[in-house]
């Protein structure tokens, strides 16, 4: 199966056989993700397939598979583990549009029997892995994955490597912090450098890296991750939370104990009175997305009041008093078809990835930056690889990594240039960013033209033809020569 076809296919299911095939693909994708730490398809493709399965199940309730992944926490694929959760650790229902958020608000109102009076909280939905971190008398004693919501895996081997989850708190508190562990972008780059240095495959993206790192107990190296709490429960019957604490108050108690919460992120935790105001905060956090130092895949809206949360209650997979407003995909998988090299004005050789077209954050992406040869080698990129590509807002799309497990047999490492792609001369490889050995002289004409342009020197009438003539005559060897040109030199050049 290739990812591109999975993404571009339209999932209208005409019969039971297609439904069952789709359910199987969901299972395969989830199992690979949780079990092997890589993704057979990206989130956008997964969500689309999942929605199509849900649609079919809504229309054919009698034929719905009893073990359909759509009815289970983490789609039933996360390893359950053998540690019982203190209280179920559930996922969240999703909405994708303002209308769906309004509809969620209406369903909450029905469950409460009145307008929600306790207001809403709005916070970023970090794109990592949910864990429960147990503190006893101020010591971090255990970290557990979400698993199937009732049982998780003990991943305490990462204690000491997670920023935001100190091993020792300044107060002797006993409680369980619940939140998301992930690699920030900076930690992700560092992790892949460490992996490359150990001959291990790079992570395709920060979230896959998180899943893999939580499960790997016998690595010869440790990788730093980060945690933010989005909830807490009491542990061992020891009082911790203020009586009747709502969501914002709960997080404040966690923060006072010394553990990081979503309120500490640049996106913050916001308390608002109405769902309209919540939508405004959703939009504000979405607008911050490209500038955040970590990935988010949505924004979480919760009824803040503990009383209203208790009245609204829980379903089998998620609470009725909270919802995740999912943001458009900013990361997709596509195929790296080629790499071409250009010489910039400063003589630097810049590689650009040619990608199979993919829809990303509202535009079709066919090119992405690859930085430099060392970066290509570090990522072990091959032509033909399925790669993860990230783009948010106005930033230049970047290739994050190859999904090594999906590499075709005929894939070849990205060829690095042996000669300057502009002038055919030698290459200076003494730094990470390779340069033409001629330096700025290689691309002198575009450099001079650029310098003469309106934004810099603003020399009227000094176009490319003129520049070429001045270089050919030897009158201009660098930008400084422009200042000492004589009228005669200019006249000769223009003739
Ligand atoms: Zn050159």
Distance CA 230, CA 126 (A): 10
Give me ligand 1 centre to Cα 474, in Å: 18
CA-nearest of 406, 276, 397 to 332 is: 397
125 is catalytic: yes
Considering the segment(s) 331-414 as one domain, its CATH architecture is: Beta Barrel (2.40)
Q: Which two tokens stand for residue 26?
A: 């969901």
Give me ligand 1 centre to Cα 462, in Å: 23
Give me ligand 1 centre to Cα 365, in Å: 29
Spelled out in words, what is the top-level CATH class assigned to the domain 83-326?
A: alpha beta
Point out the catalytic residue in the list 125, 281, 302, 391: 125
DSSP string, 233-266: E-BTTB--SPTT--HHHHHHHHHHHT--BGGGST
Instruction: Put the strands of the sheet holding 129-136 in their side by side order.
Output: 139-145, 129-136, 175-182, 225-233, 162-163
Give me ligand 1 centre to Cα 227, in Å: 47
DSSP classification of residue 168: B
CA angle centred on 93, ends 31 and 301, rounded to 5°: 130
Give me ligand 1 centre to Cα 442, in Å: 4
At the topology level, CATH places domain 443-494 in DNA polymerase; domain 1 (1.10.150)
The angle, 0 to 180 degrees and rounded to 10, between the axes of the packed helices 98-112 and 275-288 is 140
Distance CA 390, CA 205 (A): 9
Q: Which two tokens stand for residue 332?
A: 């997709």
CA-nearest of 215, 226, 228, 225 to 78 is: 215
The CATH superfamily assigned to 3-76 is Helix hairpin bin (1.10.287.610)
Residue by residue, pLDDT tens for the chain (495 residues) are 333 333 344 456 778 888 888 888 888 887 777 766 677 888 888 888 888 888 888 888 888 877 777 766 556 656 667 899 988 888 899 999 999 999 999 999 999 999 999 999 999 999 999 999 999 999 999 999 998 888 999 999 999 999 999 999 999 999 999 999 999 999 999 998 898 888 887 888 888 899 889 988 888 899 999 999 999 999 999 999 999 999 999 999 999 999 999 999 999 999 999 999 999 999 999 999 988 999 999 999 999 999 999 999 998 888 999 999 999 888 899 999 999 998 887 889 999 999 999 988 778 899 998 889 988 988 889 999 999 998 877 778 989 888 888 899 999 999 999 999 888 889 999 998 999 998 877 877 777 887 888 777 888 777 778 888 888 788 887 778 888 888 777 776 665
Domain residue ranges in the chain: 3-76, 83-326, 331-414, 443-494
3-state secondary structure 305-361: CHHHHHHHCECCCCECCEEEEECCCCEEEEEEEEEEEEECCCCEEEEEEEEEEEEEC
């Amino acid at each position: 199966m290739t990812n591109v076809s999975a993404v571009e296919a339209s999932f209208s299911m005409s019969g039971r056989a297609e439904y069952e095939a789709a359910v199987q693909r969901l299972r395969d994708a989830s199992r690979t993700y949780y079990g092997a730490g890589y993704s057979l398809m990206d989130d956008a493709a997964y969500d689309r397939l999942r929605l199509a399965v849900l649609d079919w199940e809504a229309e054919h309730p009698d034929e719905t598979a009893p073990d359909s992944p759509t009815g289970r926490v983490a789609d039933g694929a996360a390893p359950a583990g053998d540690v019982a959760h203190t209280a179920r650790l559930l996922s969240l229902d999703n909405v994708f549009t303002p209308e769906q958020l309004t509809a969620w608000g209406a369903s909450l109102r029905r469950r409460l029997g009145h307008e929600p009076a306790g207001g809403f909280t709005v916070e970023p939905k970090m794109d990592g892995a949910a864990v429960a971190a147990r503190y006893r008398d101020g010591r971090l004693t255990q970290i557990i994955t979400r698993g199937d919501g009732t049982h998780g895996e003990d991943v305490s081997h990462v204690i000491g490597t997670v920023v935001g989850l100190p091993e020792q708190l300044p107060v002797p508190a006993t409680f369980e912090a619940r939140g998301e562990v992930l690699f920030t972008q900076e930690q992700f780059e560092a992790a892949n450098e460490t992996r490359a240095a150990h001959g291990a495959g790079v992570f395709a993206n920060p979230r896959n890296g998180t899943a893999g790192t939580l499960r790997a107990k016998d690595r010869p190296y440790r990788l730093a991750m980060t945690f933010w709490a989005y909830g807490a429960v009491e542990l061992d019957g020891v009082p911790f939370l203020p009586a009747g604490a709502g969501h914002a108050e709960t997080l404040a108690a966690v923060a006072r104990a010394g553990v990081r919460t979503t309120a500490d992120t640049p996106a913050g935790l916001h308390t608002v009175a109405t769902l309209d105001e919540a939508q405004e905060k959703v939009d504000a956090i979405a607008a911050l997305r490209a500038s955040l130092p970590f990935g988010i895949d949505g924004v979480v809206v919760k009824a803040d009041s503990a009383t209203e949360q208790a009245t609204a209650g829980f379903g089998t997979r998620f609470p009725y008093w909270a919802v995740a407003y999912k943001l458009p995909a900013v990361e997709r998988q596509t195929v790296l078809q080629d790499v071409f090299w250009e010489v910039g004005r400063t003589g630097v050789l810049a590689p650009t990835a040619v990608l199979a077209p993919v829809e990303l954050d509202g535009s079709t992406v066919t090119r992405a930056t690859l930085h430099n040869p060392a970066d290509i080698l570090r990522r072990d990129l091959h032509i033909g690889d399925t790669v993860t590509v990230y783009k948010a807002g106005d930033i230049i799309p970047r290739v994050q990594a190859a999904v090594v497990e999906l590499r075709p047999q005929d894939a070849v490492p990205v060829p690095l240039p042996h000669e300057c792609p502009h002038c055919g001369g030698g290459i200076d490889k003494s730094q990470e960013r390779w340069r033409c050995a001629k330096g700025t002289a290689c691309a002198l004409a575009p450099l001079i033209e650029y310098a003469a342009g309106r934004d810099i020197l603003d020399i009227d009438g000094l176009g490319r033809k003129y520049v070429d003539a001045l270089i050919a005559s030897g009158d201009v060897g660098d930008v400084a020569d422009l200042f000492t040109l004589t009228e005669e030199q200019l006249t000769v050049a223009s003739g």
